[in-house]
A and B are shown apart, each in its own frame.
Chain A
Amino acid sequence: MTGRRIMAAEDVRRATTRISHEIVEKQAGTDGLVLVGIQRRGVPLAHRIAASILEHEGAHVPVGALDITFYRDDLSLVAQQPIVKGTQIPFDLNGRTVVLVDDVLYTGRTIRAAMDALIDFGRPQAIRLAVLVDRGHRELPIRADHVGKNVPTSREELVKVSLEETDGEDAVEIERLPVAAPAGGVVA
């Protein structure tokens, strides 16, 4: 099934670069800044943002990876056992500004779980959120600080993000959900 392409590789590249500028601008520099990507596609996005910051600021921003599996409240809803990809946060979060990075912002529940997880690692000075796509339909009082593209969607659609690192190409597509999609399908 292929859907309607709303971002091509070049759009993805420009969005990440812009987000990296916004992050530095908002922080007024790179001091105390760390990036934490949410498994799975948030992680390569965080690395790209860090690379972009290095390019235009000459500063190394630490990048971590966060797996929210153990913070999910839907163990009973998944059809199979989740992959446990692992969390790597090899730096101290206390007093830092943590920018959470994910591919799609939707209901906000992933971010809620990610913030719960982060706080178990320390007490950041601030947590911000950067996403490649905001598709609306929030169910929690959460908003993104940095957004690559706002995409109006219906709940019957799914937003599929592909990245070179995980999927072989950069693209964002919108697909129509089949009426009875098999549970546990890959949905971004």
Chain B
Amino acid sequence: MTTATASVPAVDAPPETQPVAWRHRHLLDVDGLGPAELELVMGTTDAMREVLARPIPKVPALRGTNVTILFYEASTRTRVSFEVAAKNLSCDVVNIAASASSVSKGESLVDTVRTIEALGAHMLVMRHGVSGAPYLAAEVFGGSVLNGGDGWHAHPSQALLDLYTLRSRLPGGSLEGRKVVILGDVLHSRVARSNVWSLTAMGADLWLCGPSTLLRGFDAWAARGAAGRRFTATSDPDEALRDADVVMALRIQRERMASGLLPSLREYAARYGLTQERLRRAKPDVVIMHPGPMNEGVEIAPDVAVDPRSVITDQVTNGVAVRMALLYLLAGARQRAGGGG
């Protein structure tokens, strides 16, 4: 009951509020999130982890919220993670795989999004192979758009789950001054780009490392920094891994060979693959990450993937919690804005 004239109060007392309110209707990238907002996501994720630990890991928070998951690219991990997250919050979930819809009949993204909205969706989780596509969807969608990965551009929920995983693993829960290495096909990686923003925002000493063909342009970005926060780009894995606190290997795709960016997978594995031998340059308690899916034996050796220092399965679990937090925060912002019905 907040005012004398208020309508029926939902509960006896309004909840206390955070000093930092979530003000974004959409989550399209992490470049617009400051440290306080990142903290809010992390704190909300903590609460979601607690929900996940309950006997029934499901709460009615977003009952009546319709979530449509629209994926134009094949994905199991991220799609299922979003679906589980939405269901844990009691959302109603509709899944659309591009190949199974009128998308394959040539319907435009704008028309598809309008149709999804007309069918009652409040939130749209989308993945698209073209950088920036979620911005077009957000332009026409009346609810909230959550970017599940666009082209090479951004993968905000992955960056946030990486951040959450690191904070829960690193002593003191802080990334400040920690040497974090992202190793592999940086050029084509939306995971790397989003992590540039979030990891530097949290004070990490970020290093991007990969073959020079897969690192084009990043030297210049590193020198300017992400909104001025400098990082390092190098094609020398030994220098990158020296005394690293964290190393994240990125998936390498076979198409890179066909387009002449790499001579062979064998050569890549020999020079940049994350092996136990190479890991010896890092700190003994280095945290090992991979956004998945892995090519074991190429960018990461099988014994490294299952090493006790690997948090790869934690990343998956935390992914659900982070996505619950994001859906919850966006739903609150959307409802406060009075949008999306």
B332 interfacial by beta-carbon distance below 8 Å: yes
Please measure, in the bound complex, the distance between the C-alpha atom of A74 and the C-alpha atom of B4, giving whole angstroms.
Answer: 17
Which of A16-24, A50-58, A99-107 interfaces with chain B?
A99-107
Q: Are B47 and A106 in contact (CB under 8 A)?
A: no
Min CB distance, A107 to chain B, in Å? 5
Please measure, in the bound complex, the distance between the C-alpha atom of A69 and the C-alpha atom of B332, giving whole angstroms.
Answer: 12
Q: What residues of chain B lie closer than 8 Å to A185, measured between beta carbons?
A: 2, 14
**Which residue on B lies nearest to A122, using beta carbons?**
B55
Secondary structure at chain A's binding surface: helix, strand, loop or mixed?
Answer: loop
Q: What residues of chain A lie closer than 8 Å to B54, measured between beta carbons?
A: 87, 120-121
Q: Are A183 and B329 in contact (CB under 8 A)?
A: no
Please measure, in the bound complex, the distance between the C-alpha atom of A158 and the C-alpha atom of B331, giving whole angstroms.
Answer: 29
Q: B12, B22, B55, B63 — which one has the most chain A CB atoms within 10 A of its CB? A: B12
Size of the A side of the interface (Cβ < 8 Å), in residues, is 51
Q: B2, B22, B60 — which one has the most chain A CB atoms within 10 A of its CB? A: B2
Size of the B side of the interface (Cβ < 8 Å), in residues, is 44
**Which residue on A lies nearest to B333, using beta carbons?**
A81
A-B contact count (CB 8 A): 144
Please measure, in the bound complex, the distance between the C-alpha atom of A87 and the C-alpha atom of B59, giving whole angstroms.
Answer: 12
Candidates B50, B59, B329; contact of A81 at CB < 8 Å: B329
A75 interfacial by beta-carbon distance below 8 Å: yes
Which of A5-13, A29-37, A108-116 interfaces with chain B?
A108-116
Q: Are B47 and A187 in contact (CB under 8 A)?
A: no
Q: Are A106 and B22 in contact (CB under 8 A)?
A: no
Q: Are A67 and B11 in contact (CB under 8 A)?
A: no
**Do A109 and B12 form a contact, CB below 8 Å, given A75-B335, A79-B336?**
yes
A2 interfacial by beta-carbon distance below 8 Å: no
Q: What residues of chain B lie closer than 8 Å to A87, measured between beta carbons?
A: 50-51, 54
Supply 6 A–B pairs (Cβ within 8 Å), ascending by A.
A72-B61, A73-B63, A75-B332, A76-B335, A107-B11, A120-B59
